[in-house]
Structure 1
Amino acid sequence: MKGPDVFDQAIPTFIRQKARYIDTVQVFFSYNPPRNPYDWVNEWVTDKENDPDYFIDTSTYLDDELGFTTDQQLKLIEKYKENDPDYYRWLYLGEVVGLGTNVYNFDLFKKVDQIPDNDYLTDLYFSMDIGHDVSATTCGAYGLSVNGNLYVLDTYYYSPAGKVRKKPPTELAQDVHDFVEGICDRYNMDPANMTADSADGALDNQYYSMFGVHWHKVAKKKKVEMIDRAQDMLAQGRIFVLDIENNQVFLSEHRDYRWDEKTLNSDDPKVIKEKDHTCDQFMYLCLDNERDFDLKW
């Protein structure tokens, strides 16, 4: 739904269907509140709290007296609660916790020296954010493990800033191809998926011309919605970053990734668009592979 005008159209339609044997038509709404207090649906509910024609009720898994919540679900909920209390309060207690200025809780990016033997990789993924003359191009290599963890394996990063001679699409395509092939050889695996920014055409066309492979264009959503996928995995404690030199740019950009304070009091907050290229390709990865990552069923 885009706004409260949807209700203005739907409610009269429901009421018109009133059966003769009832006095009034009761319309029920059920929703999980977005974190942003200025999201339209949160403001709509707040407005209806003082409307005598509406009854506002809240419930969480803690109110489950019939046993709908399984032990497996409770175990997962405890992971959220332990790893990211604010995310838990929003996702499972329905609290409008706000966005803050830092997009991510950086402590949830766990640095590791190697992948444990009992958490071996099952699939390889690549995700690319493609820049232009003054913007960086980055490609991330990721491994999904047998235990459902996601490892940041390596990062390719090229910034044309300050360079007199900037790499043309042919060189960028060759660089990315060499990076992908190197990772595949290192782990002796083929990619399960290769995700790219849907706004790009030139580099993908060049890549296909040279190597016969198209990258899958992610169906982008609002920034808040895409970030939610990444935050979900982080809150479950499932993100690990190999502590190598190439991944330091991934870590630093996610550490410094922030909301634009000027837009926080709106229903469509924006991030600060500076040094955010690995952040973009990471959220593209989570969105494009949400079923593989158990973020969507």
Structure 2
Amino acid sequence: MIPKIASNYGVTGTSSVTSQKQLQSLQDVSQKSSLPQADLMAAPLSKDNGVAGAIQDLIKIMSLLASTTKKPASDQGVKVPAKAPAKVPVPASGVANKTVNKTDSSQQKARLDKTLNAISMDPEGARLLEAAKAKGYTIEVGDPAAAAGGALDKGSVSCNHCKAAMDAGRKINGVTLLDEKKIVINPDAPDFEKTVVHELVHAASEDDGNSKQEEGIADVVGYRVANRITGKAQPGDAQSIYTKKMANYKELNGTNSIRNTLAELGINAGV
């Protein structure tokens, strides 16, 4: 770049001492300043090759430097590394702020709605569903154990058998909370449709409490209706289903009026 500057002063291969000093002065300014070389070269230089001309040129260049504000690196065409994103603390479990999946909730509700619709078109299922609705029951998917625990905390006697089930380590697939007029179904219940019908039996017969007999019959009726609406085979005959279910509820009374209640609805207990 220096030969181009020097040419403005008429400098050739045999330059004068004065011209050499002019060049040196300009070179020092160029190296020590932050002014781009292109801007320096564009400065209007004097045609005077003497010291006076060099001084005039230096004054012009210094004035140009003073009026030039140093630009940020990003404005000078320099690529500035992107700021690294802040690290999000990850819990020991390895999952960072996992949110609730709303899609799962929607799918669970859709499954329940589909099941209730199918039940409403079954002769016995429709009667049970209407009886539960007439008593003001709502049906939802959720955690039956948590719902039962909440009922127990409130002193509800309608779910004493729930406590016994939890104490025994039995999984609760569904629960009918008589005091709260609510049925809660576990979305992961292995026999989802049967579980819904089973709980509808409890809701329809709320006036006489619960019993081993009612638990057994609720499963018999539940599997029977589920078989019709899903085509799934029952896990045995009615008597074996009844006996197996009753064995899980030793804390309950033996019988109540469940047979009469179902008969009034036009439903055969089946055992």
TM range, normalised to the smaller chain? under 0.3
Structure label with greater radius of gyration: 2
TM-score scaled by length of structure 2: 0.22
Greater strand share, structure number: 1
